[in-house]
Amino acid sequence: MLPVIETIFLRQMASGDRLSLQVYKFIGAHLGKKVYVQSNLHGAEIAGNAVIHQLIEFFLSLNDTNLVGEIWLIPVCNPMGANERAHHFSAGRYCVYEAKDWNRIFWDYEKEADDLVAFTKSQLHIDREVVRQNYLTTIKQKFAKILEKINSSAGLPYTEKFSYQLQSLSLDADYLIDLHSSIYQAINYLYYFRNREESAKYFLLDYGILLNPYDGDAFDEAFIKPWLALEACFQQLGRNIRFDVEA
């Protein structure tokens, strides 16, 4: 099967270079979950691009009837970070213009969800999949407000525009993986979130690090925290519910 390839413009540099994202979408013949995998959010962490390259080769060898759902692959998901170089060293961890870590800039709906209890109460007796869609709609509506700011005459710093564009690709995903890597020797490990121990085991890694509590506006964290918050709120109101959402 061939991917649908989408190119998303990010910004034009003073040199005239135009930076963009390249999204590879493998869409199965049968409807199903959406999986989102990105790499190289920190500019020096290029190993994840090789992983995505291998994934693309693998999916090219399949027929679309072999795939249920869709897989979106975004290598080099942060061209600004990838372009950062200091002498021989590839840095790319911080946006040098704004002194911000590229993986601490993402929008976390949990922080704006003031009416979470009221929302949860309204969904107490509703089917899980319908609750998921209702909540996702609420998240998307709040997220859309950022676009109003981006399009306003005052504008926004680049990191805010960039984080909006990247997150807009992943908000409705079911499973999300953000591939980070080190240039040093280290153990392989996985970050995972509370109540997701069982799914962490699928990665067959010897080590997993539980991010709980953690509040850093990292990409995978900003994706899953609103769902964890909703699960916790249901729990408090006496309903045990776990959404099929993973990061």
Residues engaged in binding Zn ion (CB under 5 A): 42, 45, 180
Task: Report, in Å, the least distance between residue 181 CB and Zn ion.
Answer: 7
Please, which residue, 113 or 211, has the CB nearer to Zn ion?
Answer: 211
Which residues does 205 contact at the CB level (< 8 Å), separation at least 6? 188, 189, 190
Peptide bond into 213 cis (omega under 30): yes
Task: Report, in Å, the least distance between residue 175 CB and Zn ion.
Answer: 19
Task: Report, in Å, the least distance between residue 222 CB and Zn ion.
Answer: 15
Task: Report, in Å, the least distance between residue 45 CB and Zn ion.
Answer: 5
- For the chain, the maximum distance between any two Cα atoms, rounded to a whole number of angstroms, is 60
Please, which residue, 45 or 231, has the CB nearer to Zn ion?
Answer: 45
Tokens, residue 41: 């959010």
Task: Report, in Å, the least distance between residue 178 CB and Zn ion.
Answer: 8
The string of DSSP letters for 155-179 reads ---HHHHHHHHHHHHHTT-SEEEEE
Please, which residue, 38 or 123, has the CB nearer to Zn ion?
Answer: 38
- Residue 137, Ramachandran bin (φ over 0: left; ψ between -120 and 50: alpha; else beta): alpha
Separation CA 83–CA 29 (nearest Å): 37
Please, which residue, 180 or 239, has the CB nearer to Zn ion?
Answer: 180
Please, which residue, 58 or 89, has the CB nearer to Zn ion?
Answer: 89
Amino acid at position 63, single letter: N
